[in-house]
Structure 1
Amino acid sequence: MARRVAVTLLRHGLTLENQQKKYIGFSDPLLCEEGRNELRELHEKAGFLPSEAILSSDRNRCVETAEILFPGQRIIASPALRELHFGEWENKTYAELCHDLHYRAWIDDPSGTCPPGGEHFHEFEKRLLTAWQEEIWPMAEQNGHVTVVTHGGPIRFYLSVFASEPKEMWEWHIPHGKGYALDWNENTGRFDGKCTLLQEAPSMVKPSG
């Protein structure tokens, strides 16, 4: 029988700052009540099964999401799974920043321009690849499956690297509270190969029985 290793990537629930369309990379807001209610409804409809292992960004919005979707389970929080640090642009909106030439240069070339006081995209990539190699993949191999609750940016990056479906990073649409499950077969020891199966997560079909 082929050995299966799986990683499920889920985005945190909605925050007030998300509704206000603010940049909240390293910022640490809680979920808004609407976000909590959406997650509770998702949990009820999706019939989440216990996860063998749960990793989360250490930001409140991710830990809260994991606690709602997987109540009573152990959650390991990691700062390596945070969103991109937007520096001086944290908690600001496009409307507030659109006249800033530095910001407009970053919009045009996010991999070539760094937010002032923030994180360069290459640092973001390095941080996430290190987290994959040292935290996510070892837990997936050890347990057969790991659920990772993180942010839109990290999920898009991981999909651009590991998804079997070829897309640019910014082409992936990741709704709050949802994400993708990536599966590998007979892949022991590999952390840099494309997955063999990609599915939207969570499944909205409840298990029978």
Structure 2
Amino acid sequence: MSIILVRHGETPLNVARTLQPAETPLSETGLKQAQAVAQRLAGLKIAAILTSDLPRALQTAQAIAAATGAPVTTTPLLHERNFGALRGQPYDSLPYNPLTMTEAPPGGESVAAFQQRVAQAFAQMVELRGRVDGHLAVVTHGLVIRALLAQHLPLGTDAMPLRVGNTSVTICGATPPHALELVDCTRHLDAQIAHDAKSLSGG
């Protein structure tokens, strides 16, 4: 059985390229994406769900729970990197790329502190997966998944996705070396887009 990493659905601030405050919820599109990934995972033996408790991740996890019947456990260890006073600001309004800054912004986390927290989250994932009979779904945020791929999963930097897609699915083995079976897959969204197009056309 595996660990299945899922990024949360789209939010209005994802679209606006804005650093997100903690309380940002999913958009209407994000809610549909959450339903689509939930239906994708419904056919698998999901035994438990571990999720960030930030609304955009928790809403996504709740959709998966409704489709699979799996219990949900929340943890702040899976929060997105805390950008402190920069939250709420558009990326393009800043004179630097906030996603690559190594130092801590005012009131936020440095890369080192963030990576240490992600390491704790990974240990929690592996421990929980070892206690359940089935797959563990983990719902979290884009930078967390990138940090997991870079630091804890056997993905070379050349293969790192430029951006982790909303509700993308990444699957890895539950035991070392945590072999990757799938990275950043959003094929479930193709079916959602086709369904929406058919509905709009009256088909």
The answer, yes or no, to whether TM exceeds 0.5 is yes
Alpha-carbon distance in structure 2 between the residues aligned to 1:44 and 1:89: 35
**Contact 1:48/1:70, CA 8 A, preserved across alignment:** no
Alpha-carbon distance in structure 1 between the residues aligned to 2:85 and 2:159: 24
Give 1:18 deviation, angstroms: 0.9
DSSP 3-state at the match of 1:118: coil
Alpha-carbon distance in structure 1 between the residues aligned to 2:158 and 2:82: 21
Residue of structure 2 equivalent to 1:101 = none
Residue of structure 1 equivalent to 2:142 = 152
Correspondent of 1:49 among 34, 44, 51: 44
CA gap of 1:21–1:182, structure 2 versus 1, over 3 A, is same
Q: Give % identity.
A: 24
**Contact 1:157/1:169, CA 8 A, preserved across alignment:** no
Alpha-carbon distance in structure 1 between the residues aligned to 2:161 and 2:43: 27
Alpha-carbon distance in structure 2 between the residues aligned to 1:52 and 1:46: 11
Residue of structure 2 equivalent to 1:180 = 170
* CA displacement, residues 47-72 of structure 1 (integer Å, 9 cap, x when unaligned): 54351111000101111001112314
Residue of structure 1 equivalent to 2:10 = 14
* CA displacement, residues 15-66 of structure 1 (integer Å, 9 cap, x when unaligned): 1111111111x52111111111222244446654351111000101111001
Give 1:167 deviation, angstroms: 1.7
Matched residue type, 2:156 = P
CA gap of 1:198–1:173, structure 2 versus 1, over 3 A, is farther
Residue of structure 1 equivalent to 2:109 = 119
Q: Does 1:199 align with 2:182?
A: yes
Correspondent of 1:38 among 21, 33, 37: 33
Alpha-carbon distance in structure 2 between the residues aligned to 1:68 and 1:95: 32
Indicate the structure whose relative CO is greater, using CA pairs within 8 Å and at least 6 residues apart.
1
Q: Does 1:94 align with 2:91?
A: yes
In structure 1, runs of 5+ residues without a counterpart are: 99-103, 188-192, 205-209
* CA displacement, residues 96-121 of structure 1 (integer Å, 9 cap, x when unaligned): 222xxxxx2856x623x221221111
In structure 2, runs of 5+ residues without a counterpart are: 189-203
* CA displacement, residues 113-138 of structure 1 (integer Å, 9 cap, x when unaligned): 221221111000111111222x2111
DSSP 3-state at the match of 1:117: coil
**Contact 2:165/2:186, CA 8 A, preserved across alignment:** no
Q: TM-score, normalised by structure 1?
A: 0.77
* CA displacement, residues 112-168 of structure 1 (integer Å, 9 cap, x when unaligned): x221221111000111111222x2111111225311000001101101123333126
Alpha-carbon distance in structure 2 between the residues aligned to 1:61 and 1:174: 15
CA gap of 1:12–1:131, structure 2 versus 1, over 3 A, is same
Alpha-carbon distance in structure 2 between the residues aligned to 1:151 and 1:118: 16
CA gap of 1:118–1:96, structure 2 versus 1, over 3 A, is same
CA gap of 1:196–1:40, structure 2 versus 1, over 3 A, is closer
Q: TM-score, normalised by structure 2?
A: 0.79
Alpha-carbon distance in structure 1 between the residues aligned to 2:114 and 2:59: 23
Correspondent of 1:141 among 125, 130, 133: 130
